[in-house]
Each structure stands twice: as C-alpha cells, then as structure tokens.
Structure 1
Amino acid sequence: MKFSCEKALLQSAISTAARAVSPKSSIPALEGILLEANEDGLRLTGYNLDTGIRTTVPAEVTQAGTMVLAARLFGEIIRKLDDDTITFQSDGFMVCITCGPTRFNILGTDPEEFPELPAVEYQNSLVLSQSKLKAMIAQTIFAVSDNESRPVITGSLFEADDTGLTVVSLDGFRLALRHEAVEKKEGAPSFSFVVPGNALSEVEKICADCDEPVSVTQGARHIMFKVGSTMLVTRRLEGEFLAYRQAISRNNTICLEADTKALLIAIDRASLMITEKLKSPLRCVFGDSVLKISAKTAIGDAYDQCSIVGDGKGLEIGFNNKYLMDALKAAPADRVRLELSTSVSPCVILPTEGEENFLYMVLPVRLKAGE
C-alpha cells in the first residue's frame, strides 16, 4: 500500500472519521481508522458498532491496499506534520509516514479485524440542504433525553410527509419541534424513524452552513446520512415514540409576545443565583405588559423584568431556568409567542409571525411558598 496526499485534506478526513471511533473497545481494530487506498482515492472509516463514518479524500495511489491505524496516534502525527504532501507506505503491518525530512514508522492492525459497516436496505429517502438539516438538529437536540431506561427518547424523531420534515426531541420535561420543507422525498407518502442523539451530534458537525444537499436514507434497521464525500450510518432506535401531538397543549387562555433576546437576558440575570448545588425554580409572574422574574437561593436573591405584549392576568408559574433558556436560545426568531394556561400547565413557545416552523414546550416546576 502506497499513496500520497495533501496534509490539510488528510487531517480533515481523519478528524471526521475519528468521531465514530471507539475510545475503548474489546476489539482493538475499533479504536482505529480503516484506510482503504484504491484508484478512487483514499477512504477512511471509523466505526463503534453503533455509528460509522466514512469519508473519501483525493490521493495519488501508486499501490492499492488497506490498513487500520490507531486513530489518536495517527491523528496527532498528521496534525503535527508540516503543511505539505504526506507519503504513506506499508510493509506488512509496519507503516512509514513521511513529510519532508520528517518520518514516522508505526505499527498498524490487520484490516480483517475491522467489522464491515452495516448495509442500509433502502426503504425511503429525502433530500434537503445541509444548512437546513444542521439548523433543525441544533435547534432540537438539546431536548433529547439521557435516560437509558427509555432508549427511544434518547434520539430524535424524524417524520416525513407531504408538508416536509418534522424533527422532534423530548425528555419528559420539555419538547422541541422543528419543521421544514424538503427538496425531494421518495418512498412511502409518509414515514418516520428515530435517530440516536449522539449520531445526530456528529451529523450536525459534518453538515456545513451551505445549500449543498444532504440525503437521508431510511433502511430496515439503519439510517444513512450522505453529505458530499462523507457518509454516516447509524442504527435506528426501536420502540414507540411518545404521541407528542397529543401532549402539546394548544388550548391556552393566555397568549403573550416578547422579544426573544430581551427575555433571554432577563432570565439569564435572575439565574445567577441558581447553581448546580443550589437549585431553585425561576419564579415568573406574567402581568399586564410586564413579566417579573425572580430567583432565591441560600446565596441571595435576584429580580428582573421584561416587557411583554399582552396581559398575563397575574399568572405565577415556576420553571427550570436552564430548560427555559435552552428553548429561547434555540428559537430561530427575533420575537416569540408564549402560550400559557395555569401554573401547572406547560408553556408553549412559538414564532409570532409566519409559519409555525418551530415549537418548544417547557413543563412548569411547582413553586413553594417563600421560594
């Protein structure tokens, strides 16, 4: 096996593939990156038995072959080499990496020990822009659950129909929903699947803020995301996702509007009294044209207020400050509509204008007297 490649391209490809490498595994090959050199260039694969990432870079291949190299060491070597052409040559399992006067000889692993990436049996697919998918993931992933006793909600639900794609995440305390039109959809009129949250984090990193397409393919047991020369394959999460539409309360009697940034700043200030060790609900009193926000813990208390449009009728309600801030930070709108009903009903956050392409729901926290 012998090839040469530009350092910048190789470093970027290693960084991408390494995201799916197991930090520790009973199979040593899974702690490495599989390199495959052929007439099409150099292909790099990382796989942790749940998620696999494969990417291709241009390379001048003079001798085809395959090899597995330890991801961390290989990545560090390439990162510290000069910005020049890197030559890679193997003799058995010994690999020689040279760049200018610098040379490394490292031991590789038998590629036969590297498991095959799972095949994705085509069922349905859709295509949308990278920037759109990246935003949809970023604006919903914060609500994915980390409760392993309910595996299906440790991922996000993807629902495709004639109106486009809806991505939903929830953890029992909050819900995040984003909807966008798609460029292309093939297969069943409507279909849905659940993608693990950790795989979606990697998809978000792979996608760029551009209009280039990303294709999403649903298989019987796996999902494939294809972004340019990079492919990510991950297992689907099985099980019945919560019937979220029934959980969303829309028969709310109080409807208010607020500037997203101003509301976020006021909540952030009051939250300075709340820490990991000193937890306390954020007390919100929705009055006529004003929202009063306060927090009190053993280290002190804080008060702030924010202008709103509408009359909250004096509704007093408590929230987990982080959950409320996460939703407002993710909201892709300068102004939001807050829908409320009672002190024990969820707060629904929506755009004030245009299509309802996002919806966040935050459950309240019971307030105690004197808090």
Structure 2
Amino acid sequence: MKFSINRTELQTALGVVAKGAASRSTLPILSGILLKASHDTLTLEATDLNLSIRCALPAFIEEEGQTVIPSKLITDVVKSLPDAAVHVDANDESAKILCETSAFSLKSLNAEDFPGFPDVDPESSISIPFATFSRMVKRVARVVSRDESRPILTGVLVEAEDGVLRMVATDSYRLAVTDTDFTADSEGFKAVIAGTFLSDLAALAPNEDNITLSLAENQIVATYSGTTFVNRKIEGTYPRYQQLIPDQYKTRAKFDTKQLTEAVKRTSLLSNRTAPVKFDLNSASNTTQVSTVSQDIGEARETIASEIEGEDTDISFNFSYVLDGLSSVETDAVYLELQGPMRQGIFKSEEEERYLYLVMPMRVS
C-alpha cells in the first residue's frame, strides 16, 4: 500500500477515528487503526467492539492495500510532522512514513485480523443541522449520570415527535430538557444514547453539513462529514421525567442571567458540599439574597435585583449544579420557579430558547 496525503487532513481524521480504538484490551488489534487505500480514497477505521468509527478522505493512491498501525503511535507521529505532504508505504509487517526530512518505520499488524465494520440496516433516521445538534447536546450532556450501576441514566433521551426535537438528561438529582422545532419526516424517533458518545459527536469540527442519526435494532448510527459512527443503544425504559415538572409555581423570580451567574460564582468561593448556596427571595423589595455559611471558612452574601411574583421563600442548592444549569442559558434573562423550600427548583431560559433545568434542593440544618 502506498499513498500520499495532506498532513493536516490526516491528523484531523486520526483525531476523530482514534476515539474508537480500545485503550485497554487483551486483543492488540483493537488498539490499532485500519488504513485502507482504494481508488482515490483513504479510509480509516477503529473499533473497541462497542463503538466503531469510519472516516473516508481523499488521497493520492499509488498502490492499493490495507494495514493496521497502533492508534496512539500513528497519531503521535503524524501530529509531530511538519505541515507538508505525508507519504506512507506499508505492508503487513511495517509502515514507512515520510514527510520532508522526517522518516519513521512503524511495526504494523495484519489487516486480516481486524474486525469488519458493522453492517447496520437503519429502521428510522433524523437529520439535524450540526450547529443545532451540538448546542442541544452541550446543554444536557453534562447532566448525565456517571454511575454505571444505572446505565439508563448515563444516556441522553433523544426523541422527535409532534414537530419537536427534544433531548433530556438526568442523574436523579437534576434534569435538563431542551427543545427545538423539527419538521423532518421521521416522527416517532426515540432512543437513549450514551452521553459520552453524544459529547464526542458535538465536539467535532463544525461545518454546514447536517448530522444524521439512524436507529437499528440495538445500535445507533451517526453520519457526518464523511465519517460514520456506530455505537450500541442503551436499552431500558427512560424515567418518566414529565412527572417531575410541575405545571404551576408558588414563587417565580426573573434574574439577569449574567448577574445571577456571577453572584453564585462569587458566593461559591466559600461554599463546599456541606455548605450549599442559599437563595432568599423577597417579593416586597424585589431582591434575592444569595449566600453561604461554611464552618471554619466563613460566610458570603450578595443581594441582587429580581422580579418576584408569588410568595417569599428560601431554598438551597448545590452551587455547582446551579452553575451547570446557568451556563446553558443563552438568553439575557433566566427564571427560577419554586414550589417551596424542599421542592425542586426549575430554572428556565426565556421562551424562545426552550430550555429547562430542574435541580433538587439541599437540606440546611
């Protein structure tokens, strides 16, 4: 196999495909990347048997063929090369990589031992502008659980129905929901997709292409910009999150998003896991006091303007949970809706953004 390719394009493709290679496996072949040269295309593949990634990019092919090179090794080598054409000459035993005055000879693995790429027959698909997809994922993915004992909570619920595309994530302490109008043909699309997988997709280089998500019996297929990702769906029934969202409130406060975020950040300098940030809402003065008292450290408080309707109340939250939610609010104003000091609090962006973030309160002695 012999081919030449632009170093920057090869490095970018390797950076994407390498996420599919196994970092810990008893099978050495799974830690490698398959390079396949055919016609005028170089195809890269990697798999850990759960996630498979394939990327095709144009290259000057002198001799067709295929080989497998350890993922970390080839990624590090290409990253270190000067920005010039890269020439690769490989067989089943070694791969020679040349770029200007640099030359490497790497041990390769037999491509015949590399697992075949999954052959998936999609049942339904949705196509989303990448910018929209990325923004929605980033709003909810940080809320997924890291507890592998409840796999369903490590995923994001993605569903398209009644002209709306929705993404939902929860770790049982907080819940994030984001919606957007969606007029595609594929109504009834519904799947729970690993949050880490979606986050990797959302971090891809943006362009004008759509990203397509397709469902098979037990797999999710994502295609974007010449790259195909195949990952296992998370099986199980997603929690009935709608029951957690009340349709009314006893207190509602409107804040300047930036002002509230900065107040929580300053107050949290003296906070910790056992000293939450407290919100004390006063409707007579239309102010909210954000405060914390931390034993052996000290206390902090800040009073900010807020438009309050309903009852006076106070409630305490984990400050990092609050900041996670506020960081996803893109409107100038944010609303906090409360049922009482020991009921869930709901942060909402202004209507056009259609973002909701529910967080459970902390008990203060």
The TM-score normalised by the length of structure 1 is 0.94
1:262 to 253, 259, 266: 259
2:318 to 296, 317, 320: 320
| d(CA) in 2 for partners of 1:50, 1:232 | 11
1:329 aligned residue: 327
Amino acid at match of 2:226: S
Residues 1:285 and 2:280 aligned together: yes
Matched-pair contact (CA < 8 Å) for 1:17–1:46: yes
Matched-pair contact (CA < 8 Å) for 2:176–2:358: yes
Deviation at 1:68, TM superposition (A): 1.1
| d(CA) in 2 for partners of 1:116, 1:307 | 60
**Match of 1:330, SS?**
coil
| d(CA) in 2 for partners of 1:254, 1:310 | 7
1:47 aligned residue: 47
Q: In the TM superposition, what whole-angstrom CA distance separates every residue of 1:208-248 from its partner, at most 9, and x where no partner exists? A: 1x442111111111111111111111110000100111121
Deviation at 1:185, TM superposition (A): 3.2
Structure-2 change in CA distance of 1:255 and 1:22 (3 Å)? same
Deviation at 1:158, TM superposition (A): 0.5
Matched-pair contact (CA < 8 Å) for 2:168–2:176: yes
| d(CA) in 2 for partners of 1:235, 1:31 | 19
| d(CA) in 2 for partners of 1:351, 1:311 | 17
Deviation at 1:287, TM superposition (A): 1.0
Which aligned runs of 4 or more in structure 1 are off by greater than 4 angstroms? none
Amino acid at match of 1:316: D
Q: In the TM superposition, what whole-angstrom CA distance separates every residue of 1:78-105 from its partner, at most 9, and x where no partner exists? A: 1111111111011332111111222111
Q: In the TM superposition, what whole-angstrom CA distance separates every residue of 1:302-343 from its partner, at most 9, and x where no partner exists? A: 111221111463311110111111001012222112111111
Aligned pairs (5 A) from 1:37-116: 37-116=37-116
Matched-pair contact (CA < 8 Å) for 1:351–1:358: yes
Structure-2 change in CA distance of 1:176 and 1:103 (3 Å)? same
**Match of 1:82, SS?**
coil
Structure-2 change in CA distance of 1:351 and 1:42 (3 Å)? same
2:219 to 218, 222, 241: 222
Matched-pair contact (CA < 8 Å) for 1:130–1:207: no
Deviation at 1:207, TM superposition (A): 5.1
The TM-score normalised by the length of structure 2 is 0.95
| d(CA) in 2 for partners of 1:323, 1:17 | 32
1:245 aligned residue: 242
Q: In the TM superposition, what whole-angstrom CA distance separates every residue of 1:95-147 from its partner, at most 9, and x where no partner exists? A: 11111222111111112222223232211111110000000000001110111
Amino acid at match of 1:279: T
Matched-pair contact (CA < 8 Å) for 1:249–1:346: no
Aligned pairs (5 A) from 1:147-226: 147-182=147-182, 184-186=184-186, 189-206=187-204, 208=206, 210-226=207-223
Aligned pairs (5 A) from 1:298-317: 298-311=296-309, 313-317=311-315
- Count of residues in correspondence between the two structures: 362
Matched-pair contact (CA < 8 Å) for 1:11–1:78: yes
Deviation at 1:31, TM superposition (A): 1.1
2:34 aligned residue: 34
Structure-2 change in CA distance of 1:119 and 1:334 (3 Å)? farther
Matched-pair contact (CA < 8 Å) for 1:126–1:182: no
| d(CA) in 2 for partners of 1:185, 1:145 | 32
**Match of 2:213, SS?**
strand
| d(CA) in 2 for partners of 1:63, 1:169 | 48
Residues 1:358 and 2:355 aligned together: yes
**Match of 1:78, SS?**
helix
Q: In the TM superposition, what whole-angstrom CA distance separates every residue of 1:129-181 from its partner, at most 9, and x where no partner exists? A: 00000000000011101111110110100111131210000000000011112
Structure-2 change in CA distance of 1:49 and 1:305 (3 Å)? farther
Matched-pair contact (CA < 8 Å) for 1:257–1:352: no
Q: In the TM superposition, what whole-angstrom CA distance separates every residue of 1:20-66 from its partner, at most 9, and x where no partner exists? A: 22222111111111111111411111222222221111111111111
| d(CA) in 2 for partners of 1:192, 1:126 | 10
2:271 aligned residue: 274
**Match of 2:311, SS?**
strand
RMSD: 1.5
**Match of 1:149, SS?**
coil
| d(CA) in 2 for partners of 1:268, 1:213 | 36
